[in-house]
Chain A
């Protein structure tokens, strides 16, 4: 705990701000029902009401409170993106490490498959798959996680490759340890730093990706409050010189900027740790 505090105090100012913003977002997401003045889906006024004391940011296209939806949106948008990245890391990370240990055939086969999947923008594959599986939240999470795990796979594999050739891994294998044990106890702790930085980067990417899909009407479906689709639903207000639809977009941008600042620092840290 003391080490963590010292680490935090030693961080550059941009990373501190980033961490603080991430913390605020997390609090809003977790405590959404207690903070929000109204519920996420209930219609409490007429449509497109202006900013007032009753509705701080006005109401949306069918009269739901904008602020409440923004607060619940934190929970839904961040939660879904987070679940997707965790799943992507489970798939990509485990396959990457496994392949690094096994080598040979499986390495070649999975490597080529990943090359092919990465030869096409993931948005195109995602749209194709969403056509077939439909746009429900589980299929959204699984599709994006699988597409994104290709990137995680590459990082995990190349990082694990450097560890697998070490003597202590060989000793563990000679000792007769099981594959799963070797991955968990020998390989994973040694590639944690680059994986953590990558986690932040992937989170930004997936978060923006899901927001873009929701904005296109193909991601998180109404009436669930979600920042991407909130921009889409209220976009017409822009034409009346009203900045309300920019609020959810700014919320998205704020979190990605903050995470990027933190990741920048973490990359710096992990490269510094590795060099000495």
Chain B
């Protein structure tokens, strides 16, 4: 047990280190610009007075390490500073948007994960069959589709032509849960389709890999039924790779969410990030980037830990 604990703690430490270095990069990326960020943002015509005022406003007049420590402290305590464009407290409007994004991502994951596992399992079981080959072609094609293409096709068929679901998902906090669910269907479906292909292919590969190992052949030779082989022999060992696949794709959702939110005008963090980039509102971009990066790193960390913990060799050390 102690070796397991040690490995888990090691991974946790590594994750925290990564998070720390990423926060350093996000905070110091400003210094990358040759010359001065204020010049670039205010334009050449800015007077020295405005430049000085702006520098004081975003705190550029103080030493870098103090700025970083203050920013990190703010990030950890929920005080993310002020938006340059609207002068509002960032923490105030980031919170509900983060909740919306997590809701959308969670819904997409709830549809995509069981579906991908089931279809991937089937493709692995009946590999090289017609079903498997069709799945291969379809997933290879859908991986190549840009997210917004999938989104607009869904809007065209389910919203414009069919009229089943709204094509704009302007959810707000005072909406009833059912109503919110209804308006989130199309974006969630888009995200599902985007990650489904990847997840399916990876599940299939992981299971096929396992089915080739000698102990599975042994089980088959002694006459165990295929379904029982999968459930009792393959699956316990497949949890590690499968969880890895899920986490990788949840992380992928984090990126897909940005485009999908913009298509459906969904008030989430991704849309805020895109808006802030076009307004060059640096503090908001930094806060959003940090949140996205943290979620991504934590998901990867979680998958790492689960695959370690579910590894029979580590669970039962000799």
Contacts and interface: CB of A to CB of B under 8 A. Distances in A.
Interface stretch (A45-53, A176-184, A247-255): A247-255
A240 B162 CA distance: 13
A131 B282 contact: yes
Contacts of B255: 121, 123-124
A124 B293 contact: yes
In order of increasing CB-CB distance, the 6 nearest A-B pairs are: A256-B144, A249-B149, A257-B144, A120-B293, A121-B255, A131-B285
Contact of A130 (B259, B277, B293): B277
Contacts of A212: 146-148, 259
A55 B307 CA distance: 57
B153 interface: yes
B258 A238 contact: no
A94 to B, nearest CB: 22
A241 interface: yes
Contact of A231 (B148, B160, B254, B280): B148
Nearest to A128: B289
Interface string B26-68: 1001101100010010000000000000000000000000000
A218 B26 CA distance: 19
A134 interface: yes
Given A241-B160, A241-B161, 14 more contacts: A120-B293, A120-B297, A121-B255, A125-B289, A127-B274, A131-B281, A132-B29, A135-B278, A204-B144, A212-B147, A235-B263, A239-B160, A246-B152, A257-B140
Nearest to B137: A14
A83 B18 CA distance: 31
Contacts of A121: 251, 254-255, 292-293, 296
Contact of B153 (A124, A128, A132, A246): A246
Contact of B155 (A130, A211, A238): A238
A216 interface: yes
Given A127-B274, A129-B29, A260 B140 contact: yes
Contacts of A8: none
A215 interface: yes
Interface residues of B, number: 50
B262 A216 contact: yes
A218 B146 contact: no
B285 A128 contact: yes
B187 interface: no
A244 to B, nearest CB: 11
A7 interface: no
A133 B273 contact: no
A238 B160 contact: yes
B26 A231 contact: no
B302 interface: no
B274 to A, nearest CB: 5
Nearest to B259: A212
A243 interface: yes
B144 A218 contact: no
Interface string A84-120: 0000000000000000000000000000000110011
A132 B33 contact: yes
Nearest to A260: B144
B160 A124 contact: no
A233 interface: no
B152 A235 contact: yes
Given A130-B277, A133-B33, A215 B259 contact: yes
Contacts of B113: none
Contacts of A115: 18
28 contacts: A116-B25, A119-B293, A120-B22, A121-B251, A123-B258, A124-B293, A124-B296, A127-B258, A127-B274, A128-B29, A128-B289, A129-B32, A132-B282, A134-B40, A204-B144, A208-B146, A212-B259, A216-B258, A216-B262, A218-B274, A228-B146, A239-B160, A241-B156, A246-B149, A246-B152, A246-B153, A257-B140, A260-B140
A79 interface: no
B134 interface: no
A24 B36 CA distance: 46
Contacts of A261: 140
Contact of A131 (B254, B280, B292, B293): B280
B300 interface: yes
Contacts of A208: 144, 146
Contacts of B156: 238, 241, 243, 246
A132 B32 contact: yes
A217 interface: yes
Interface in B85-137: none
A238 B273 CA distance: 25
Given A127-B274, A128-B289, A250 B149 contact: yes
